[in-house]
Amino acid sequence: MNEKQHAIVGMFDKIAPTYDIANRILSFGTDIGWRKEGIKKALELGNSQNPQILDVATGTGDMLVFWEKAVVGDASYVGVDPSVGMLEVARQKVSFAEFHEGYAQKLPFEDAKFDFLSISYGFRNVTEKEEAVKEFARVLKPNGRLLILEFAKNESKNPFRIAAQWYVKKVLPWLGGLISGNLSAYRYLPNSIEGFLTRNEICAMLERNGFEVEVAKDFSFGVSSLIIARKK
């Protein structure tokens, strides 16, 4: 992996112990509803009978907790992340899943293994995004579903969107730095959104790499985006 990717992983190693509490405080808990809605819709569209579920850039395993609560019956849960620090927290927190160290753009799994693959607020941190999407397609079964939750770039002039941008740029770095003791990590967040793709650009990337986009919508005036796509 390139130097930038290694630097991002090192940053997440440092903030792992306070990551969960910072997320909940900084999002005012709204991310919980976004995650639940994305999983509910994915399960409605895909194979919900004894599914094999992979969460990429799993961090502390937060998304897997929501998957486990939503799935009815048996399922297999796997999380993968390049940050050793994050995985240490995940293994302590989530007893029902297995965890692997690995990158989104080089997943350590066989072809056509999973019914669902989720990546929540981690796609932005992958430096080789097209390669990652190809890997998502490789490890998903035919008709498997990809669920992406992300802070996509959004240039809307809606006043609520402008207020949210002000919060993310001005307040969030200071508050996140206070909670974690790592100001630079939370300065990275608004910068990473500014340099990221729009929701439509993500959809186009998926479409040219073996996916059919089924759901593409925004939450909270474009603060967060949900994309669900079917592997063709």
Domain ranges of the chain: 3-9+29-156+198-231
The values of phi and psi at residue 131, to 5°, are: -65, -40
What's residue 109's pLDDT?
A: 98
The values of phi and psi at residue 219, to 5°, are: -115, 150
Say if residues 50 and 74 touch (Cβ distance below 8 Å): yes
Q: Tell me which DSSP letter residue 15 carries.
A: H
Local confidence band at 152 (pLDDT 50, 70, 90 cut-offs)? confident
What's residue 184's pLDDT?
A: 80
| Residues making up the chain, counted from first to last | 232
d(CA 3, CA 169): 25
SS3 18: helix
Question: Which residues partner with 229 through β-bridges?
Answer: 146, 213
Say if residues 79 and 55 touch (Cβ distance below 8 Å): yes
d(CA 195, CA 213): 23
Going by their DSSP bridges, the two strands 140-150 and 211-219 should be labelled as: unpaired
**CATH number of the domain at 3-9+29-156+198-231, please?**
3.40.50.150
Q: List C-alpha distances in Å: 140 to 53, 113, 180, 199.
A: 9, 6, 35, 22
pTM of model > 0.95 = no
Average pLDDT of every residue of the chain: 88
Amino acid (1-letter code) at residue 187: R
d(CA 228, CA 204): 13
Local confidence band at 157 (pLDDT 50, 70, 90 cut-offs)? low
Mean pLDDT of 60-73: 96
Most confident of 130-144, 146-160, 209-223: 130-144
